[in-house]
Amino acid sequence: MSFDRVARSFRLLETIAFGQSLQRARVRWLETIPRPQRVLILGEGNGRFLCELLRVHPKIDIDCIDASARMLMLARTRMCQRHPESWPRVQFIHGDIRNWSPLHSYDLIVTHFFFDCFPRDEVKAIVDKVAQAAAPGAVWLLADFTVPPAGILARAHAKFWLRIMYLFFRNAAGITANELVDPSAYLEEHNFVPISCQSSRAAMLKSELWQRRV
């Protein structure tokens, strides 16, 4: 699985389909969370969230992991242009999270539009692995698509877009998932509790803030 083929056109595709809705979901809680010390970002993409994180919380240590070398290149270039002072503190790691092992403890974990790429058993395994590296009191930011629990039109709208996106990204990026998996139960198994949640785009998008019990 890799987003190399769509890396350069990803922002355009996102804007055409959803405008700024996905980016607003990514950054929704940045002004709310306490300043982190070390951050783990999974599937950052082209660096738009990374740069906003560094703008709000400068001089923090970040491990940024992505399976797409081209996405990492775009993220690195964007960061160097906008926050060159952060270069020594940000590690760009090209790799598959399923084969990666954490070397640090993190007080902020970020998985934006990430779990929708994986089937259920892999979502659970990833949460289990990452949670082992979460510090007591760690914050977990999660933005993703969702199918609203109620509302015929809202559910039809979400299912329509999800069908199109899964078809496209299975061919363009080789993702193995074919349905959304809600990771909430797996987060709760590791003592994370939901603190805040906001829905948008006819309840098709969610932006959640979780925190681990101390």
Give residue-wise pLDDT tens across range 165-197: 999 898 888 888 888 999 999 999 999 999 999
Q: Assess contact for 105 and 135: CB atoms under 8 A.
A: yes
- Count CA atoms closer than 13 A to 183's CA, side-chain side: 33
Instruction: Write out pLDDT tens, residues 46-100.
Output: 999 999 999 999 999 999 999 999 999 999 999 999 999 999 999 999 999 999 9
At 181 the pLDDT is 94
Strand, coil or helix: 94 = strand
Dihedral sign for Cα atoms in the order 207, 212, 213, 214: negative
At 177 the pLDDT is 86
The strand ranges marked E within 78-202 are 90-94, 106-112, 134-145, 192-200
Strand, coil or helix: 1 = coil
Instruction: Write out pLDDT tens, residues 16-30.
Output: 989 999 999 999 999
Mean pLDDT of 142-158: 91
Listed residue (205, 30, 173) closest to 110, CA to CA: 30
The structure's pTM equals 0.95
**Which residue's structure tokens are 């403890």?**
105
- Tokens matching residue 51: 């740069």
H/E segment holding residue 51: helix 48-56
At 157 the pLDDT is 87
